[in-house]
Structure 1
């Protein structure tokens, strides 16, 4: 299911009103977020299912100089929510107006009048409104007074603690994509348009699709076994380098260069989703281009082996 995305709370179409809604930033749409979405549906399966989130992420608004940290950008976030049953994604534009809106006004103007919410679901630490003035207790009082249902869904946890976007980011930055995937419920993927590179890989039989990280979190720099989803839906295995290519003089910013196994075709300008399945090695500077070429061959072989062993 591809959900409808609505960004203006003052212009919500009739079919998006009166829904049961999951609330939160939902960055990564990890298993804990999906539990909130499921809680919204289970409470009122008779109602359309949707989610309310914020774009840009409030942290991007309040701390614009922070390094990129996003696990999912809006199109990918909406696609994941849609795959789990959401018909509508209300991605509220987060700017000065929403940042300054008191919690009570947010409930009254956005949740009640604009969206006509019939049921809400959130985690126990959900906070909203100016200076995070509203919490689940505030929301419960408002919901009860206005005939709106509310489900507060407990945190999901594993042996290491609460499943959270913060933990997932740390695992990716430390080079553990498999452990991050266990909390996401899927492999972490970088999604973006394929851009032109310097074609060095093509000269040695390893052409690459180059994807800028953009607003995505930068995981550990190095080489990964990957699985790429093409624009036509086909899934192709491959090997990718994420980093700044120190052997080739170094780049000012990191990028993802994915070589897709047994694939021929022009992907320039098209959107590619590259899932990081296994971390193979850290990025390092080689003494010569020939030494780098030899390592690329070895990395490709290791990626094929890992993907075959794990069914990736």
Structure 2
């Protein structure tokens, strides 16, 4: 899997990646709605015998235009690239999005990126994709450009769930904000997953007999604080059932920064410095403040028992889920 970042935009694309089918979009979450676009691109690339690529933008455009309100990212760039690789894409183009880029004309976008740099033979995107200064480039513009320059254009309608509701990243964010990780998983097509470096903490969990792997998530994360049944994956792929607390730890601190603390079952050893991933399977309870440490320990034991029971019966909800959380 090749990922091209900001500094790569001035370098020529390897000839092996030119002439491919390019799926364009932000694809935050790589959810079931996105996969209707992405799978169309993969199938078309297979039919034509050319590489399948994804063109996405970093950072998220909303974060550029509203820096005081950064977007809660369902899948930060590294995790998104892993999901796209698991789907079968050969390369991800993470094109830098800034105000200078946003001010370019739609024609310049087509000429400089799709034609000169990528040499796209086909473009696949959502039916409402707009690009260029003032969003001047829309579906009709893109199709006309394809006719002029010799690349085909496939526009994919919004994907709806079993209740005929459109699956969107904002809808999934709202569910996670409510702690409904089960329904979010149904829309994502895999269990919501975060990843990060395991960092040191107060070591209170170790003193209580429940050592935790701590991760600092992005400040804009809108996951509901609480206790969750999760799975923890180490870099070598080893999985552990676990219970995780996300929040500010009201029993032991009055104003701590939000932290994800994961207690791995049947594990002993150090995880400091590792990049781990945590997949969420169920919300067990809200974050509570206990009157002392003894009631807290008793509750953690109950949380562990409930999490073990929940995780003992889970099965993958799809091929992507099997790769990420199983």
| TM-score class normalised by the smaller sequence | over 0.9
- 2:198 corresponds to: 194
For residues 38 and 192 of structure 2, what CA distance do their matches in structure 1 show? 20
Deviations 1:154-207 (A, max 9, x none): 211111610110111011111111111111111111110000000000011100
**Residue 81 of structure 1 aligns with which residue?**
84
Alignment of 1:40-119 (within 5 A): 40-45=41-46, 46-119=49-122
| Offset at residue 68 of structure 1 (A) | 4.6
Partner of 2:257: 253
Instruction: For residues 52-103 of structure 1, give each alpha carbon's deviation from its aligned partner in whole angstroms, at most 9, with x where no partner exists.
Output: 0001111111111115500011111011101111001000011232121111
Q: Between 40-49 and 164-173, report the one with greater CA deviation.
A: 40-49
**Structure 1 residues not aligned, in runs of 5+:** none
2:134 — aligned with what?
131
Query: Which of 144, 152, 155 is matched with 1:152 structurally?
Result: 155
Aligned residue number for residue 162 of structure 1: 166
Partner of 1:176: 180
Q: In the alignment, which residue of structure 2 is the partner of 1:22?
A: 23
- State the secondary structure of the residue aligned to 1:161: coil
Aligned residue in 1 for 2:224: 220
Deviation at 1:42, TM superposition (A): 2.1
- Give the match for residue 9 of structure 2: 9
Q: Helix, strand or coil: the match of 1:248?
A: coil
* Separation in 1, partners of 2:41, 2:70: 33
Encode CA deviations 1:87-122: one digit per residue, 9 max, x unaligned.
010000112321211111101111111110110100
> For the Cα contact (< 8 Å) 2:63–2:70, is it kept in 1?
no
Per-residue CA deviations over 1:251-293 (Å, capped at 9, x if unaligned) read 4421100000001121101101001110001112112221111
Instruction: Please name the residue that 1:36 is paired with.
Output: 37
Q: Which runs of 5+ in 2 are unaligned?
A: 316-325
Aligned to 1:264: 268
Deviation readout 1:290-311 (Å, 9 max, x if unpaired):
1111111111111111111334
Q: 1:37 Cα shift?
A: 1.2
Q: TM-score, normalised by structure 2?
A: 0.92
Q: TM-score, normalised by structure 1?
A: 0.96
Partner of 2:300: 296
